[in-house]
Chains A and B, each alone.
Chain A
């Protein structure tokens, strides 16, 4: 998790890392798709190599020769995204929902997306008004309320329920990742948390992290899913299974959970201490690196939940390992950053013949897409 200041620094190197954004694919493709966007160069599509080991970097508009047949949903989604030049994470999410809304992922996803779009539009307006009236300090950049409302909507954070996010962060895990605004050696000055002038729903719960968690505080669904699945991932994937790739996959997922916890903590702390919001410039895409991968790790968790019910366990494990590999991919990857890069995927000879692999994969991916849309509606 990069700090607020680091994430706003303009890229100086010519080989800039680029912004990686997960795409909710419905193609019959194991693992998943990720789009990498560069400020100068054209975007790249990153997919697990369908022919064997490793990751392919493909041009996003010519997908016909990469060993899988992309679905119409993917073609349209990618085309919509690469038509915009400065792409934000929000744009990708909106395009995915719009593509599902026009029916490319089936009628059921369409109905769901329509519902979520209604709810999200209303919630965005309410959140924006709430933020403007209570949190946004004088002197913040003018597009901050819209941006912050969008991010809160995407992460599912409710400003009245911050205690559920801040509670575990104070204990052990992501303490070191917190943006350190105070001096390094000195203990952090104890600050009074921001108290909203009024809180409409629950006056007794005002987001005070020091009081300890209120037990019925609602954890945001995406965070709750990650905590639940990655916390129990060692039961789903015994580390000695399938060589060591499952163990590496486990490590990547735990790193990701740490980063996402830190993302949520930073956002919640911004709301608790809103004068920090003045330093935030939405045009520089703060937190974009983690926000772009949040949906990907959510899909990882949904897939890991299904490992026990999958038709072939070796394929299921290779599947989520491939997704973890795509999500953890960097241009400057050393071996320790990219585990399992040369682990070959199991061939189709181990797959039960009576189940059509492509049909099963595309049905599974569509089901996961629906589950992800439902996560936006606030259902875990």
Chain B
């Protein structure tokens, strides 16, 4: 990643992917800037496009605003060092010796860093921005001051409701909020104004939330407002637009990854183009559309594009995985835990990709990975860790050859062991002279 050397300096820069470009294709960045604003991807549009159309200017955020916002948010940020340390330890290679009993937040450091950043953004935006700073922001972003003051309160609400609106973790399991909490959060968003509501709806659907729960709840809240027509229209529009939005994202990923050759990397990628929660959201949205017979055509288009993007990304990940030079000595705890999490991520990606296209497309790649782990004697994994890795990658109906050998070394089952008397009896019988005949 090349983060540690220039960590403090790069905290203020935008992204560190540039110098890596000739080594391997740079994935999504994991700098604080990227982590902070990545969940807003359904809303951010180029500034020129934002200025051109009235509809965009009332439903989207111009991308030039993000840079001055970042500078303002990270000014005198007390936890900057912690965030950087968390990000550096994202792939498990530089994780400090941690105590999984005491600090469970180190289990997913990048997620933890993102949460810290979102909390910081919410805290900064909850206070009014001084006019001089506003002027400076307007100059940098090329926007009017009134545009920025119009956008900031809505952005503040988005960051304040991050647990609901932003995707969390690497698990495909939807975040199920309890209904009262969900309704309260949605009411807070709607109370801020129609702009915040318009911003929140695509995020609500694009984050890994159970659509069967959040969509009725959102409509319930929308109907309780005076301008309910506009609020409900925002819900419906977000549902209609979420399919083209995801499709555009997948198309862009397809273009980025087309013809990319896998090269040896230092370790696994920390962030992907399409994470497990994103793909799970896509699949559940497609299922929702088919079940309810709404937006079936965009859903079908999304399915074909997403299936291709998922396959391309997965093949690249597997090819890169096969090229990684893993340590020859025994692995430290942090690396092993990150490795196990990465295996589960691959398995989940394959499972969701199989749901989008065919499971057979993914089986061979996983088998190749498992075979490499089982066969490569130079890998610094113990026999037990090899067995376990293979088991977590593929569904083993029968025990692997390693496990069979291991079980053969264990003492045999007590009930199959012949008793002492029987052993003696057979020994005695074998010694008799007529046994030879």
Chain A residues with CB under 8 Å of B351's CB are 355-356, 359
Residue in A64, A69, A103 whose beta carbon sits within 8 Å of that of B382 in the complex: A103
| Given A353-B283, A377-B101, A363:B344 Cβ within 8 A | yes
Complex CA gap A355/B344 in Å reads 12
Query: Looking at chain A's contact residues, is the secondary structure mostly helix, strand, loop, or mixed?
Result: loop
Residue in B174, B287, B388 whose beta carbon sits within 8 Å of that of A104 in the complex: B388
| Given A107-B336, A108-B100, A353:B355 Cβ within 8 A | yes
Is A283 at the interface (CB under 8 A from chain B)?
Answer: no
Is A158 at the interface (CB under 8 A from chain B)?
Answer: no
Residue in B347, B398, B411, B415 whose beta carbon sits within 8 Å of that of A359 in the complex: B347
| Given A102-B384, A354-B280, A359-B348, A107:B333 Cβ within 8 A | yes
A83 touches B410 (CB 8 A): yes
| Given A71-B391, A83-B412, A356:B348 Cβ within 8 A | yes
Is B61 at the interface (CB under 8 A from chain A)?
Answer: no
Residue in A83, A102, A115, A379 whose beta carbon sits within 8 Å of that of B414 in the complex: A83
Task: Give B328-359 as 1s and 0s: 1 = Cβ < 8 Å from A's Cβ atoms.
Answer: 00000100110010001001100110010000
Most chain B CB within a 10 A radius of its CB, from A85, A352, A363, A379: A352
Interface residues of A in 212-227 (CB under 8 A from B): none
CB distance from B395 to the nearest CB of A (A): 6
Nearest chain-B residue to A116 (Cβ)? B101
Residue in B101, B340, B387, B413 whose beta carbon sits within 8 Å of that of A72 in the complex: B387
A82 touches B415 (CB 8 A): yes
Residue in A76, A111, A308, A310 whose beta carbon sits within 8 Å of that of B100 in the complex: A111
Is B375 at the interface (CB under 8 A from chain A)?
Answer: no
Residue in B382, B388, B396, B415 whose beta carbon sits within 8 Å of that of A42 in the complex: B415
A79 touches B414 (CB 8 A): no
CB distance from B103 to the nearest CB of A (A): 12
Interface residues of B in 100-115 (CB under 8 A from A): 100-101
Given contacts A108-B333, A115-B101, A352-B284, 12 further A-B contacts (CB under 8 A): A42-B415, A72-B399, A80-B410, A82-B413, A82-B415, A103-B385, A112-B101, A311-B173, A353-B284, A354-B279, A354-B280, A363-B344
Interface residues of A in 364-380 (CB under 8 A from B): 374, 377, 379
Nearest chain-A residue to B404 (Cβ)? A75
Chain B residues with CB under 8 Å of A72's CB are 384, 387-388, 391, 399, 403
Is B169 at the interface (CB under 8 A from chain A)?
Answer: no
The 3 closest A-B pairs by CB, nearest first: A356-B351, A42-B415, A85-B414
A311 touches B174 (CB 8 A): yes
CB distance from B174 to the nearest CB of A (A): 7
Complex CA gap A72/B406 in Å reads 10
Residue in A80, A84, A354 whose beta carbon sits within 8 Å of that of B355 in the complex: A354
Sample of 27 A–B contacts (CB below 8 Å) = A69-B396, A71-B391, A72-B388, A72-B399, A75-B399, A75-B403, A75-B407, A76-B410, A79-B407, A79-B410, A83-B412, A84-B414, A85-B414, A103-B385, A103-B388, A104-B387, A111-B333, A112-B100, A112-B101, A353-B355, A354-B283, A356-B347, A359-B348, A360-B173, A362-B392, A374-B101, A379-B101
CB distance from B303 to the nearest CB of A (A): 12
Nearest chain-B residue to A309 (Cβ)? B176
CB distance from B62 to the nearest CB of A (A): 33
Complex CA gap A360/B336 in Å reads 20
Complex CA gap A104/B352 in Å reads 26
Is B397 at the interface (CB under 8 A from chain A)?
Answer: yes
User: What is the total number of residues of chain B having a CB less than 8 Å from a CB of chain A?
Assistant: 43
- Count class of interface residues, chain A: 35 or more
Complex CA gap A356/B355 in Å reads 10
Nearest chain-B residue to A40 (Cβ)? B415
CB distance from B207 to the nearest CB of A (A): 14
A308 touches B395 (CB 8 A): no
Chain A residues with CB under 8 Å of B406's CB are 76
Chain A residues with CB under 8 Å of B298's CB are none
Interface residues of B in 200-224 (CB under 8 A from A): none
Task: Give A82-118 as 1s and 0s: 1 = Cβ < 8 Å from B's Cβ atoms.
Answer: 1111000000000000000011101110011001000
Complex CA gap A34/B406 in Å reads 23
B397 touches A83 (CB 8 A): no
CB distance from B402 to the nearest CB of A (A): 9
Complex CA gap A363/B388 in Å reads 13
Chain A residues with CB under 8 Å of B284's CB are 352-354
Interface residues of B in 392-426 (CB under 8 A from A): 392, 395-399, 403, 406-407, 410-415
Is B42 at the interface (CB under 8 A from chain A)?
Answer: no
Chain A residues with CB under 8 Å of B382's CB are 103
Most chain B CB within a 10 A radius of its CB, from A72, A75, A111, A310: A72
Task: Give A43-76 as 1s and 0s: 1 = Cβ < 8 Å from B's Cβ atoms.
Answer: 1000000000000000011001000010110011
Complex CA gap A363/B343 in Å reads 12
Is A132 at the interface (CB under 8 A from chain B)?
Answer: no
Complex CA gap A356/B352 in Å reads 8
Chain B residues with CB under 8 Å of A108's CB are 100, 333, 337, 340
A104 touches B101 (CB 8 A): no
Is B27 at the interface (CB under 8 A from chain A)?
Answer: no
Chain A residues with CB under 8 Å of B100's CB are 108, 111-112
